[in-house]
Amino acid sequence: MSTGKLTIDLAAVAANWRALAKISQVETGATVKANGYGLDMARVGQHLAKAGARQFFVATAEEGVALRRALGNGPTISVFSGHMAGDAQAIAGANLHPMINSVDQMLRHVEALPGHPFGLQLDTGMNRLGMEPDEWSALRDIALAQNPVLIMSHLACADEPDHPMNKHQLEQFEAMTAGLDVPRSLAATGGTLLGSDYHFDIVRPGIGLYGALPFEQAQPVVTLDIPVIQIREVAKSETVGYGNTWTAPAPSRIATIAAGYADGLIRAMGANAMFYHGSQAVPLVGRVSMDSITVDITSLSDFPESLQLIGPHQSVDQVAEFAGTIGYEILTNLGGRYDRTWVS
């Protein structure tokens, strides 16, 4: 096989959901946007539904329609982007709950789909989505008269437990929703780990389900093995790859493997990245190119058929660190050429 093998452990996804549900002790939903963080929204959603999840969160109405096809009737699917122009048919047909972000969205929703369930998103300081306090004050009575099914906000710094923004947003959310008899949600993965003050009625973990930080106790979900195309001997002082960026300090053995930035292994990994053959680490050398990467395997006693980038010896977050990014970006960019296997 000439493409990398991406193995996705759905049992681990379900185990991570159960672990976060145990921490929260409130209803625990699942955020499966961006195609289940790159791991197949339909399969992930179906497995989580079997595990007991009944609240799902997606980014767009189009994602919601696809998820409804996979889950069937029953589970609630909420849409973070709210009710966008042209979404009415999708929202009604798939029975989605748009999380209304503005006065304009509120008017659009009640005019197009009177009586259809919806939620409200409030901005408590992130300045990304949701109604700010003044806008909420003006719309509050009108919105509440339409019987929203959920009120939510989103934490900006939940992956930094001691950041003062967490407490500030908590206080803002409590002030904006005080006295309301509507289910509330503030916490994603990071907020779930901040403690019960942040849990309210529903938590909606995302990245923690997929084995990444900030959920340090998460079971790993992804393994990525990349086949070796060719192995060559490189003499001392010869260079490897585009731009001659790596020069062999001594006679070296170089393996060229079948993946590159077209497969989501971003170029910024540069010479920081390590691969594994069994438990032995070997370094990337030269530049990451579109379809191939060169790795110095001089230290190995045998000729590997593949090298592993993500697995038991190296997490998705460690791979992200090589490129100065986060696990979210690595997961959601894993390319379409991989041979994917889902295990449960």
Mind listing the pLDDT tens digit for each residue in 234-257?
Answer: 999 999 999 999 999 999 999 999
Domains of the chain, each with CATH number or no CATH: 10-210 (3.20.20.10), 222-343 (2.40.37.10)
Q: Is the pLDDT of residue 1 over 80?
A: no
What digits encode the pLDDT tens for the residues 265-297?
999 998 789 999 999 999 999 999 999 999 999
Strands (E), 153-301: 184-185, 202-203, 222-234, 239-240, 246-247, 252-257, 274-277, 280-285, 293-296
What digits encode the pLDDT tens for the residues 91-108?
999 999 999 999 999 999
Average pLDDT score, the chain: 97
The residues, ordered by sequence, that sit 6+ positions from 285 with a Cβ below 8 Å of its Cβ are 240, 241, 246, 254, 271, 294, 295, 296
Q: Is the pLDDT of residue 23 over 70?
A: yes
C-alpha 187/C-alpha 305 separation (Å) is 43
Residue in this structure with the two tokens 């709210």, named with its chain if needed? 82
**Average pLDDT for residues 181-190, to the nearest whole number?**
98
C-alpha 57/C-alpha 63 separation (Å) is 9
Give the number of residues written for the chain: 344
Q: Is the pLDDT of residue 299 over 80?
A: yes
C-alpha 306/C-alpha 148 separation (Å) is 52
pLDDT for residue 93: 98
Annotated active-site positions, please?
33, 242
Residue 121's DSSP bridge partners are 152
C-alpha 19/C-alpha 173 separation (Å) is 26
Portion of the chain with pLDDT greater than 70, in percent: 100
pLDDT for residue 135: 94
Instruction: Output the pTM of the full model.
Output: 0.95
